[in-house]
Chains A and B, each alone.
Chain A
Amino acid sequence: MEIILVSIFVVATIIGYFLINNVPSLLHTPLMSGMNALSGVSVLGALIATAEAMEKGYVVLGGIFGSIAIILAMINVVGGFAVTDRMLKMFVHKGEKHD
Chain B
Amino acid sequence: MINVIFLTSIITQEIYYLVCGVLAVLVLAGIFFMSKVKTAVLGNRLSAIAMIFGIILVIVRYEYLLKWVLYASLVVGTIIGLIFAKKIKMIEMPQMVALLNGVGGAASGIVAIFAFLEIGADKSVFTTTTSLVAILVGFVTLFGSLVAAGKLHKVLPQKPVVLKNHQLISIILLVLMGAMIPLGVICSDFAIFFLIGAIVFSTLFGIAFTIRVGGADMPITISLLNSLSGVAGAIAGLAIGDVLLVAVGGIVGASGLLLTQIMCRAMNRQLIDILLGKTTVSSTSASQVNVPVTESIEPHNIIDPIEVLKNAKRVIIVPGYGMAIAQAQHLVKQLADKLIGQGAVVKYAVHPVAGRMPGHMNVLLCEANVEYEDLYELDDINPEFKDSDVTIVVGANDVINPAARMAEGTPIYGMPILNVDECSHIIIFNFDLKPGYAGVPNPIYTRTHGVSLQLGDAAKTIANILSKL
Contact = CB atoms under 8 A, between A and B. Distances in A.
Contacts of A48: 58, 62, 120, 240, 242
A33 to B, nearest CB: 5
B228 to A, nearest CB: 9
A69 B69 CA distance: 12
A81 B51 contact: yes
Given A29-B358, A31-B255, A95-B38, A75 B55 contact: no
Contacts of A21: 258
Contacts of A50: 67, 69-70, 73, 114
A16 B254 contact: yes
B172 interface: no
Interface string B214-244: 0000000011001001101110111011111
Nearest to B64: A51
Given A8-B250, A32-B359, A78 B119 contact: no
Nearest to A70: B73
A82 to B, nearest CB: 3
Interface stretch (B182-190, B322-330, B366-374): B366-374
B100 interface: yes
Contacts of A78: 77-78, 80-82, 85
Interface string B413-433: 000000000000000000000
Contact of A98 (B43, B72, B371): B371
Contacts of B223: 32
A75 B351 CA distance: 31
Contact of A9 (B48, B105, B238, B255): B238
Nearest to B249: A41
B120 A27 contact: no
A36 B101 contact: yes
Q: How large is the interface on A (under 10, 10 to 19, 20 to 34, 35 or more residues)?
A: 35 or more
Interface string A15-50: 111011111111111111111111111111111111
Contact of B110 (A33, A69, A75, A91): A69
Nearest to B48: A81
A90 B367 contact: yes
Interface in A69-99: 69-92, 94-95, 97-98
B215 to A, nearest CB: 17
Given A20-B255, A26-B372, A95 B69 contact: no
Interface of B: 24, 27-28, 30-32, 34-35, 37-38, 40-41, 43-45, 47-48, 51, 54-55, 58-59, 62, 64, 67, 69-70, 72-74, 76-78, 80-82, 84-86, 88, 90, 93, 96-97, 100-101, 103-108, 110-111, 113-115, 119-120, 126, 222-223, 226, 229-230, 232-234, 236-238, 240-259, 262, 350, 352, 357-360, 362-363, 366-367, 369-373, 375, 377
